[in-house]
């Protein structure tokens, strides 16, 4: 149980294009999902908290117009990197909390590697 | 604000030897503590967690950790490691102030198990 998927697993795009990454909770509902960014050989940095049916909460220094988050259902959150540039290349990981329990555990997706040329 | 320190960036160890990966945190309020493992090019897998109760927590793959409130530590241990344990290990903390919503991660420790 508690499986989170991400799609795509890997994407290469040209500079200036937009890329959408999907995060799905497969066997539970998640009113709250989280988006992280991980640079090579570094830790995870929280970018934003995605709330079902409302606006995402962004961490300081994260451009909300650059990283659009939509959480339209209890099992799906999407992150769109708009007008991507090479410096946006990174490993993006989402996580989700099971809203059916009071547990604070976050379950992580397998990650999406973005390369912007 | 909370912070998590993993002092060892890399821990080399021989197969079947015991290992301890250190984690210290700073917080003035109640915390939940987690250890995650990350294999190359993959997401994070939960190893174990401390929410409340017994301070000795057992997780998957033979790992265990002990919460020490006075030393603000949550060190991860395994009595006998396998080659397959080679991975990156992250300690993480969530805090009462954030409703235990947000996770703050340490910088990670790379465990290298050799024959």
CB contact (8 A) between residue A49 and residue B46: no
User: CA geometry: angle at A51 spanning A74 and A112, to 5°?
Assistant: 80
Q: Give B107→chain A minimum CA distance, Å.
A: 5
| Average confidence (pLDDT) over B72-97 | 94
What φ, ψ does residue A62 adopt, rounded to 5°?
-95, 125
Q: Which of the pair, A99 or A29, is modelled with greater confidence? A: A29
Q: Give A16→chain B minimum CA distance, Å.
A: 25
Contact between B5 and B103 under an 8 Å Cβ cutoff? The reply is no
Percent of all residues in chain B with a pLDDT value above 70, rounded to a whole number: 99
pLDDT in tens, A4-15: 999 999 999 999
Query: What's the pLDDT at B93?
Result: 93
Query: What's the pLDDT at A104?
Result: 75
CB contact (8 A) between residue B44 and residue A108: yes
Q: How confident is the model at residue A1 (pLDDT cuts 50, 70, 90)?
A: low
Answer whether residue A115 shows pLDDT above 70. yes
pLDDT in tens, A57-112: 999 999 999 999 999 899 999 999 999 999 999 999 999 998 887 777 889 999 99
Q: Find the CB nearest A104 among B32, B36, B107.
A: B32
Listed range (A109-113, B41-45, B94-98) with the worst mean pLDDT: B94-98
Q: Which of the pair, B83 or A103, is modelled with greater confidence? A: B83
The per-residue pLDDT of chain B, averaged, comes to 92
Q: Give A15→chain B minimum CA distance, Å.
A: 23
| Average confidence (pLDDT) over A22-26 | 95
CB contact (8 A) between residue A104 and residue B51: yes
Answer whether residue A33 shows pLDDT above 70. yes
Query: What's the pLDDT at B2?
Result: 74
Answer whether residue B1 shows pLDDT above 60. no
Query: What's the pLDDT at B20?
Result: 98
Q: Which parts of chain B are beta strand (E)?
A: 3-5, 10-14, 19-21, 24-26, 31-38, 44-50, 56-58, 64-68, 73-78, 87-95, 104-105, 109-114
Establish whether the linkage from the previous residue to B78 is cis, with ω within 30° of 0: no
CB contact (8 A) between residue B108 and residue A34: no
CB contact (8 A) between residue B101 and residue A6: no
């Amino acid at each position: 149980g508690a499986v989170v998927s991400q799609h795509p697993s890997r994407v290469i795009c040209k500079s200036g294009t937009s890329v959408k990454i999907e995060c799905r909770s497969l066997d539970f509902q998640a009113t709250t999902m989280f988006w992280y960014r991980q640079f090579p050989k570094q830790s995870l940095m929280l970018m934003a908290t995605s709330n079902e049916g409302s606006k995402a909460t962004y961490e300081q220094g994260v451009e909300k117009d650059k990283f659009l988050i939509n959480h339209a259902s209890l099992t799906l959150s999407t992150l769109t990197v708009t007008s991507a540039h090479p410096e946006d290349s990174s490993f993006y990981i989402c996580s989700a909390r099971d809203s059916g329990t009071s547990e604070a555990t976050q379950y992580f997706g397998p990650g999406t590697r973005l390369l912007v040329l | 604000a909370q912070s998590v320190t993993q002092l060892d960036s890399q821990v080399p160890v021989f197969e079947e030897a015991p290992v301890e990966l250190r984690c210290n945190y700073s917080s003035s309020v109640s915390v939940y503590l987690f250890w995650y493992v990350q294999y190359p090019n993959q997401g994070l897998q939960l190893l174990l967690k401390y929410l409340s109760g017994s301070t000795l927590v057992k997780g998957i793959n033979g790992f265990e950790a002990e919460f020490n409130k006075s030393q603000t530590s949550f060190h991860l241990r395994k009595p006998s490691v396998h080659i397959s344990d080679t991975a990156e290990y992250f300690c993480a903390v969530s805090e009462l102030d954030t409703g235990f919503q947000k996770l703050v991660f340490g910088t990670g420790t790379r465990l290298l198990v050799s024959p």
